[in-house]
A and B are shown apart, each in its own frame.
Chain A
């Protein structure tokens, strides 16, 4: 299932949009005619049977959409009783926590949608069933899937979510961060939309747009994935080192990034943080020239019928190109009572037909299969240069997700918010946060 929106906390500029995006994304997917097509992925697995509980990120409204999405699965596997349950959460880290709580409460979960933020801890706590034997049994099928997915996803799963060398996940959809830019506002200001820009050029363009149209350049928030990481990575910084073993949130490059973002607020190029500013709505109203998002930004703008003239460009950079990346992955829980049926479901999730379905259905992430992510269906009813979300994988960095992810995320976002809102100097905010982060490792 290709859904990797990054709902963030209340401190983000447009927190409520991501949840809606998720709902819409799957809602759209549920309406797809492709669901009626043949599913080669699970065509030869009719032997599995019994009850199967599948948990995904989403609220109760999503239930009926998922049920529709799995109609074909149920038709092909009448002996498997699939129970799809949504868990409403504020962030992926909170979702992982909610799943953990359910497991502790003794709920029998079989397959769980786990994003990058929870993958390492679930694997390292011995909660997952190794998939190697299952993969071996359907090697051709899995190989075909991997041939059609970005190699980085498999590599990152091996690096971060395989503490003992075993395979615990098959990857799903992913999201990177690009800048959605409204060409109409640029036209109005007599500017061309650049395909690459530095931070200084970005700010200068913002000043011209502000002077000539009155529109804000961009929104700033404190979402870990959406607001913090893109600025850090485009200055060669990050919250943690590559092994997620040392906190690096107070590096000079990180401080420089926060100082720059703060300047966007003080220069009047971005609204003050701490409110309910909704970036896609502001863009639709001609009050905002750009905002950062992954695939879910397309769905937001489509809902507002505001895709006209919008295009995707790389995040402005200071030192280097960069983007965070996060991805879904599918494991079988160790406590699953019906592991064969769970594997049958995972084969369905990685099947070509399912990928096509979710792509044309408006999923809120970039589909895992490259053929889908670079296909026409993905670019239809989407901003120009939508393929950038896929291309950014080349320069992307997995969102650092240590075991105490939720606490780390809170410390990171709070420090960023203090910095951009001016209640603490960037250096002080990040130094204090870095100390906390190191303590959590």
Chain B
């Protein structure tokens, strides 16, 4: 960010330098340009400071620490690339990454499909009061802290006293150990996450849906397309930027899943719910292998970046910005 963009009387950093030339008192020369940029930098400084302190700084620190062995309590020791070599033989890391990919994939699919269906239902001609009620009801769980959500679901799914267990027993089904059975623990977490966060995706979808010109769908209907075909060939293509945005942020969020797993299962049973960020935490702050934990942090960063880039690359084939 070395230049400024001038919009009217306000000059902000980030634009091509040429656009500031010859504009009255703001761009009379190099000194004037710097003066003109000052307000922009001042406005930017809180976010910039935050970024440097809490994002870029720790990122650089993680890169440096990944070359050290450090237990927090005694001085760090330089070990070169040893931590990176250890990645290749760490079975638990592979397990954690596998669990995280499963969680993230399930999260993206269920949130996109569920959010879209809910948005379509609410966007359609239902009563306005009912529509607002449904929007609020769907979004409300998102406002509850993960700790409260986790506790709530532990009550609901309690294997002896839980309401789910009770009603399943009524129809002759024995409830599994939702959080104690390795086959059920991760699906249970996926389900709880869906309940907690679907409201957010739903709102994004609803907002996207409301940007689709109604006349286009109506024209398709007039042409005899039918509601499903109109949805498939008119509404959905126009929704693709929204779907793309939702898929990117859902994946990024899901890949960093930590809170519910930490609170509900602690990564168990049998490591069936241990996720990448949880493993990072355990390695750094329980095993005190800060150097190796930093290496894992870089792996998580690299995976998220790679998948996001792939999503952007793939979006050229299916996202329509028109």
Point out residues on A near B: beta carbons under 8 Å. Answer: 9-11, 16, 93-94, 97, 100-101, 103-104, 121, 125-127, 271-277, 404, 406-407, 410, 414, 417-418, 421-424
- Contact segment of B204-212, B246-254, B281-289: B281-289
Q: How far apart sit A402 and B184, CA to CA, in the bound complex (Å)? A: 32
Q: How far apart sit A423 and B266, CA to CA, in the bound complex (Å)? A: 16
Chain A residues with CB under 8 A of B263? 10
Separation in Å of the A397 CB from the closest CB of chain B?
A: 24
> Are the C-beta atoms of B265 and A276 separated by less than 8 Å?
no
Within B159-181, which residues are at the interface with A (CB < 8 Å)?
Answer: 159-162, 177-181
Chain B residues with CB under 8 A of A404? 287-288
> Are the C-beta atoms of B161 and A277 separated by less than 8 Å?
yes
> Are the C-beta atoms of A421 and B177 separated by less than 8 Å?
yes
Q: How far apart sit A277 and B177, CA to CA, in the bound complex (Å)? A: 14
Separation in Å of the A97 CB from the closest CB of chain B?
A: 6
> Are the C-beta atoms of A275 and B155 separated by less than 8 Å?
yes
Chain B residues with CB under 8 A of A276? 151, 154-155, 158, 161
Separation in Å of the A312 CB from the closest CB of chain B?
A: 26
Given A10-B264, A101-B72, A414-B268, residue A273 in contact with residue B180 (CB < 8 A)? yes
Chain B residues with CB under 8 A of A273? 159, 177, 180
> Are the C-beta atoms of B179 and A274 separated by less than 8 Å?
yes
Q: How far apart sit A414 and B182, CA to CA, in the bound complex (Å)? A: 11
Point out residues on B near A: beta carbons under 8 Å. Answer: 72-74, 151, 154-155, 157-162, 177-182, 263-270, 282, 285-288, 290
Given A100-B72, A406-B286, residue A414 in contact with residue B270 (CB < 8 A)? yes
Chain A residues with CB under 8 A of B285? 97, 101
Chain B residues with CB under 8 A of A126? 74
Q: How far apart sit A274 and B151, CA to CA, in the bound complex (Å)? A: 12
> Are the C-beta atoms of A275 and B269 separated by less than 8 Å?
no
9 further A-B contacts with Cβ under 8 Å, apart from A10-B263, A271-B159, are A11-B266, A100-B72, A101-B72, A127-B73, A271-B161, A273-B180, A276-B154, A410-B267, A410-B286
Contacts A/B (CB < 8 Å), 26 sampled:
A10-B154, A10-B266, A93-B286, A97-B288, A100-B73, A103-B73, A121-B73, A271-B161, A273-B159, A273-B180, A274-B158, A275-B159, A275-B160, A275-B162, A276-B161, A277-B160, A404-B288, A410-B282, A414-B266, A418-B269, A418-B270, A421-B177, A421-B180, A423-B177, A423-B180, A423-B182
Chain A residues with CB under 8 A of B267? 410
Given A274-B179, A277-B161, A417-B180, residue A125 in contact with residue B74 (CB < 8 A)? yes
Given A97-B286, A127-B73, A417-B180, residue A11 in contact with residue B268 (CB < 8 A)? yes
Closest to A93 in B: B286
Given A97-B285, A404-B287, A418-B269, residue A274 in contact with residue B159 (CB < 8 A)? yes
Chain B residues with CB under 8 A of A422? 177
Q: How far apart sit A125 and B182, CA to CA, in the bound complex (Å)? A: 37
Chain A residues with CB under 8 A of B158? 274-277
Separation in Å of the B95 CB from the closest CB of chain A?
A: 14
Chain B residues with CB under 8 A of A104? 72-73, 290
Of A127, A407, A421, A423, which is within 8 A of B287 by CB? A407
The 3 nearest A-B residue pairs measured at CB? A275-B158, A421-B180, A272-B159
Residue among A9, A97, A276, A422 with max Cβ neighbours from chain B (10 Å): A276
Of B157, B270, B286, B288, which is within 8 A of A275 by CB? B157
Closest to A406 in B: B286
Separation in Å of the A210 CB from the closest CB of chain B?
A: 13
Closest to A275 in B: B158
Chain A residues with CB under 8 A of B161? 271, 275-277
Closest to A104 in B: B72
Separation in Å of the A230 CB from the closest CB of chain B?
A: 21
Chain B residues with CB under 8 A of A410? 266-267, 282, 286
> Are the C-beta atoms of B270 and A423 separated by less than 8 Å?
yes
Q: How far apart sit A277 and B160, CA to CA, in the bound complex (Å)? A: 8
Chain A residues with CB under 8 A of B286? 93-94, 97, 406-407, 410
Chain A residues with CB under 8 A of B282? 407, 410
> Are the C-beta atoms of B178 and A274 separated by less than 8 Å?
yes
Of A93, A127, A423, which is within 8 A of B181 by CB? A423
Q: How far apart sit A276 and B161, CA to CA, in the bound complex (Å)? A: 9
> Are the C-beta atoms of B154 and A421 separated by less than 8 Å?
no
Chain B residues with CB under 8 A of A424? 270
Q: How far apart sit A414 and B263, CA to CA, in the bound complex (Å)? A: 14
> Are the C-beta atoms of A275 and B72 separated by less than 8 Å?
no
Of B155, B160, B179, which is within 8 A of A271 by CB? B160
Q: How far apart sit A265 and B18, CA to CA, in the bound complex (Å)? A: 77
Q: How far apart sit A418 and B183, CA to CA, in the bound complex (Å)? A: 12
Residue among A16, A104, A127, A275 with max Cβ neighbours from chain B (10 Å): A275
Chain B residues with CB under 8 A of A9? 266
Q: How far apart sit A101 and B285, CA to CA, in the bound complex (Å)? A: 7
Residue among B267, B287, B288 with max Cβ neighbours from chain A (10 Å): B288
Given A273-B180, A276-B154, A423-B270, residue A100 in contact with residue B159 (CB < 8 A)? no
Chain A residues with CB under 8 A of B264? 10
Chain A residues with CB under 8 A of B287? 404, 406-407
Closest to A270 in B: B160
Q: How far apart sit A100 and B287, CA to CA, in the bound complex (Å)? A: 12
Closest to B72 in A: A104
Q: How far apart sit A22 and B286, CA to CA, in the bound complex (Å)? A: 23
Q: How far apart sit A273 and B182, CA to CA, in the bound complex (Å)? A: 14
Separation in Å of the B76 CB from the closest CB of chain A?
A: 10
Separation in Å of the B320 CB from the closest CB of chain A?
A: 46
Closest to A268 in B: B160
Chain A residues with CB under 8 A of B159? 271-275
